[in-house]
């Protein structure tokens, strides 16, 4: 059974510092991995999707890496801003259940001015 873990559960950084968010999963037979942002009481905003065959994906200040063999993905956010304050979720789908996303509990990020 796939388990997705995100550590740390919460993180506070000063504005301008780079953010490093970690996601680990127990079953390496993933189809893809998706990173989301969730603001309090709101829906999920998709940030990046990494296919299982990819090692990295970039969008603006965001960069996500994937190491399937070690069961890890890392989301890097460069030069953080107060507007980056949110909860960041990672979710994986498996090769035998490609549509079903299994989520981690998230990392709550606060960027202080």
Instruction: Name the burial class of residue 77, with classes exposed (0-12), middle (13-18) and buried (19+) by CB atoms within 10 angstroms of its CB.
Output: buried
| Residues at the contact surface with other proteins, assessed by CB under 8 A | 31-32, 34, 36, 41-46, 49, 51, 89, 91, 97-106
Of 14 and 41, the one with the shorter C-beta distance to other proteins is 41
3-state secondary structure of 71: coil
Instruction: Name the burial class of residue 66, with classes exposed (0-12), middle (13-18) and buried (19+) by CB atoms within 10 angstroms of its CB.
Output: buried
Supply the minimum distance, in Å, between the C-beta of residue 81 and other proteins: 22
Supply the minimum distance, in Å, between the C-beta of residue 109 and other proteins: 17
Of 13 and 38, the one with the shorter C-beta distance to other proteins is 38
Cα 42 from chain centroid (whole Å): 17
Of 42 and 55, the one with the shorter C-beta distance to other proteins is 42
């Amino acid at each position: 059974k796939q388990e997705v873990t995100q550590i740390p559960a919460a993180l506070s950084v000063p504005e301008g510092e780079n953010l490093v968010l970690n996601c680990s999963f127990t079953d390496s037979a993933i189809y893809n991995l998706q990173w989301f942002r969730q603001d309090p009481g709101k829906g999920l905003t998709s940030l990046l999707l990494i296919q299982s065959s990819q090692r990295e994906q970039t969008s603006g200040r965001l960069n996500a890496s994937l190491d399937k063999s070690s069961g890890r993905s890392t989301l890097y956010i460069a030069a953080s801003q107060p507007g980056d304050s949110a909860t960041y979720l990672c979710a994986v789908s498996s090769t035998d259940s490609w549509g079903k996303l299994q989520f981690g509990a998230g990392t709550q990020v606060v960027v202080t001015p």
